[in-house]
Structure 1
Amino acid sequence: MTANSPFPRRSAKQWALAALAALALVAAPASAATAASLSPSDGAGVLATAHKSPFSCGKTFYANNWSGGHSPNGSIDWQTYGSDAINGETVRATAGGTATFDDEGGTSYGKWVQIVHGDGTRTRYAHLATMVRNPGQTMSVSQGTVIGTVGSTGGSSAPHLHYEQRNSSGVVDTSPTVDGVTVSVGQKKAVTSTNGCGSSNPYTPVEVCGSGFAVIDQAALGSVGRTYLLYNSGTGSNCVVTLKSTNLGTPSAVSAFLEPQGASRTTDSGNFAYYAGPVKRSAPGTCVKWGGSVGSTSYTSPFEHCG
């Protein structure tokens, strides 16, 4: 899978825009055959999305942009650096957009994710051990949202994260920039992630509960989190999720529960890194009691939202 950036004729203004766009480029997952079909005639496009490292805050890994034989040319292999072993490491979106999940089995990318960003550019994350959605599913993600873990699925001989930045036409950027570090072909650089540093929980209630749900109520759990009640008007289903605000990325006690009036309570509780839930129950026209906890701080609603 090889694609080279073309140099079409442009006006002075277009060249200026292209120069600014070269600060950041993105990628989109596809099969080996799809990537191989790209050619210079596909155009370079304008790329402006700023990308963080695909790992948690403070994690340092090598970004290796191989000088020859890497497919496609310009893609990065993220590899172990020092004491931070790459295998099983959490993988995060380098920028926000719409993620699509796929699995090519024992060939090519194996388990992989493509994120299409707001400007039409794309990123690819391949050879994953696990993904947060099943193949064929999509979800909206923010910068820092967890999408899977590092593995060695597909055409991989050792655990690493294969990463690409592509423009809106699918052409691979051969000098991608992450966390302000540009890694050109032939270079290997250690990059320390600032993805999620000092930020809020990378998940949203709608991301956790899924398409069709909307937040209808919420309650703060002091400064340590918030619990949410969502409803899908199309199916009559309720959903409760509790998001942490502290100890993000570190498993700690968190819970979420949902109880339709006249029925038993369903609870999800344990030591989780970001949230508890989703707890879903179908209860059209029925009052529900809901709530959750983070650590010792909890909330329990009365029976309400009976419509």
Structure 2
Amino acid sequence: MPTTGSPTWPNTLRSAITALLLALAAALLPQPASAQGTGLLAVPHKSPFNCGKTFYANNWSPGHNPSGSLDWQDYGGDDINGETVRATASGTAYFYDAGSTSYGKWIEVRHSDGSRTRYAHLATMVRSAGGSMGVSQGTAIGTVGSTGGSNAPHLHYEQRTSSGAVDTSPTVDGVTVSLGQKKAVTSTNACSGNPHTPEEVCGSGYAVIDSAGLTGGTTYLLYNSGNGYNCVATLKTTNVGSASSMSAFLEPQGESRTTDSGSYGYYAGPVRRDAAGQCVKWGGSIGSSSYTSPFEHCD
């Protein structure tokens, strides 16, 4: 017979009771904001525009679908049509085209915490519909337009939680825009400290059509519709002004590759080639970080 005192339990029963008690304790602990479905996003977002650009963020209410989405529009006479659209946080971008309805040309970026952002009514996208690419905060992904169910150029923008719910009070660049509010937001996105831009490096008439993030910067592919030339430039975002190994290259399909490489403080390139109607392979490097595209952009 056992002596008096604590009862002796079989090991399997003791383990089961312990697991049950731990589960009950966990259930009583406060849950993270995202698990509670409050609409808060753990990923900080910047404005979807170039550094220093100011536009109105309109959180229309009622009547905007979905409720809580933002319409970015002109501010102070600055025309938003054709503006470069940049990822507000890093993640994987997926490209879609709804034609003349709904979002028109649109992109969803899925972020590390499971949340998502959407960018709609775009004039152009850096990948064809059905494609995807990894993006850093500030990566150029398209340009503002008026495709789909839009009656004037603007950017439709949404922040969604991991459950898919729209955050009705999204925050960009530290500015929270709640339902019914309209606020001017100045972008700090892609403010690398580099005084140069890929458009400046390549010259007048060139516009960014693709980009790839590198450790310490970005390599860009640009196109000039006026003369049919492509251009590649690689720009630093860290150690700006300090000379280090960099490169940029461009290779029209069936032709030789042109490369600019050296020890530079700000950028490598520009590398310009006539490639109208040709597929191109392009890319660049900063130190040991490099990117090489497949043959693409064949229009």
Given the two structures, how large is their TM-score scaled by the length of structure 2?
0.61
Per-residue deviation, residues 229-260 of structure 1 (Å, max 9, x unmatched): 79xxxxxxx98776997489xxxx6007xxxx
Which structure 1 residue ranges, 5 or more long, are not aligned?
A: 1-9, 23-41, 210-217, 231-237, 257-266, 270-277, 282-289, 293-307
Per-residue deviation, residues 256-285 of structure 1 (Å, max 9, x unmatched): 7xxxxxxxxxx469xxxxxxxx9539xxxx
Q: Is the 8 A contact 2:248 2:271 kept in 1?
A: no
Tell me the distance in 2 between the aligned counterparts of 1:74 and 1:149.
22
SS in 1 for 2:30: helix
SS in 2 for 1:164: strand
* Partner in structure 2 of residue 226 of structure 1: 246
* Partner in structure 1 of residue 271 of structure 2: 255
* Partner in structure 1 of residue 30 of structure 2: 13
> In the alignment, is residue 197 of structure 1 matched against residue 191 of structure 2?
yes
> In the alignment, is residue 100 of structure 1 matched against residue 116 of structure 2?
no
- Report the alpha carbon displacement of residue 222 of structure 1 after superposing the two structures with TM: 8.0
SS in 2 for 1:101: strand
Partner amino acid, structure 2, of 1:227: S
* Partner in structure 1 of residue 230 of structure 2: none
Q: Which one has a bigger Cα radius of gyration?
A: 2
Tell me the distance in 1 between the aligned counterparts of 2:115 and 2:42.
8
Q: Is the 8 A contact 1:44 1:171 kept in 2?
A: no
Q: Is the 8 A contact 2:99 2:105 kept in 1?
A: yes
1:148 to 142, 152, 168: 142
Tell me the distance in 1 between the aligned counterparts of 2:145 and 2:265.
28
Partner amino acid, structure 2, of 1:254: P
1:85 to 79, 85, 92: 79
Tell me the distance in 1 between the aligned counterparts of 2:134 and 2:92.
5
Q: Is the 8 A contact 1:89 1:149 kept in 2?
A: yes
SS in 2 for 1:203: strand
Q: Please show how residues 267-286 of structure 1 align to structure 2 within 5 Å.
A: 267=273, 279-280=280-281
Tell me the distance in 2 between the aligned counterparts of 1:85 and 1:130.
17
Tell me the distance in 1 between the aligned counterparts of 2:74 and 2:146.
13
- Report the alpha carbon displacement of residue 13 of structure 1 after superposing the two structures with TM: 1.7
* Partner in structure 1 of residue 18 of structure 2: none
Q: Is the 8 A contact 2:86 2:141 kept in 1?
A: yes
* Partner in structure 1 of residue 118 of structure 2: 124
Q: Please show how residues 38-187 of structure 1 align to structure 2 within 5 Å.
A: 43-44=37-38, 47-187=41-181
Partner amino acid, structure 2, of 1:280: K
Cα root mean square deviation, aligned: 4.1
Tell me the distance in 2 between the aligned counterparts of 1:185 and 1:118.
26
Q: Is the 8 A contact 2:40 2:167 kept in 1?
A: no
Q: Is the 8 A contact 1:47 1:121 kept in 2?
A: yes
Closer, same or farther in 2 for the Cα pair 1:47/1:153, shift >3 Å? same
Given the two structures, how large is their TM-score scaled by the length of structure 1?
0.60
Tell me the distance in 2 between the aligned counterparts of 1:87 and 1:241.
33
Per-residue deviation, residues 117-157 of structure 1 (Å, max 9, x unmatched): 01110000000000000000000000000000000000001
Tell me the distance in 2 between the aligned counterparts of 1:227 and 1:63.
38
Partner amino acid, structure 1, of 2:177: V
Deviates more, 1:200-209 or 1:113-122: 200-209
Q: Is the 8 A contact 2:242 2:265 kept in 1?
A: no
SS in 2 for 1:204: strand
Q: Is the 8 A contact 2:58 2:72 kept in 1?
A: yes
Tell me the distance in 1 between the aligned counterparts of 2:259 and 2:109.
24
- Report the alpha carbon displacement of residue 93 of structure 1 after superposing the two structures with TM: 0.2
Q: Please show how residues 290-301 of structure 1 align to structure 2 within 5 Å.
A: none
Tell me the distance in 2 between the aligned counterparts of 1:240 and 1:117.
35
Tell me the distance in 2 between the aligned counterparts of 1:110 and 1:46.
27
Closer, same or farther in 2 for the Cα pair 1:52/1:46, shift >3 Å? closer
Tell me the distance in 2 between the aligned counterparts of 1:80 and 1:291.
35
Partner amino acid, structure 1, of 2:271: S
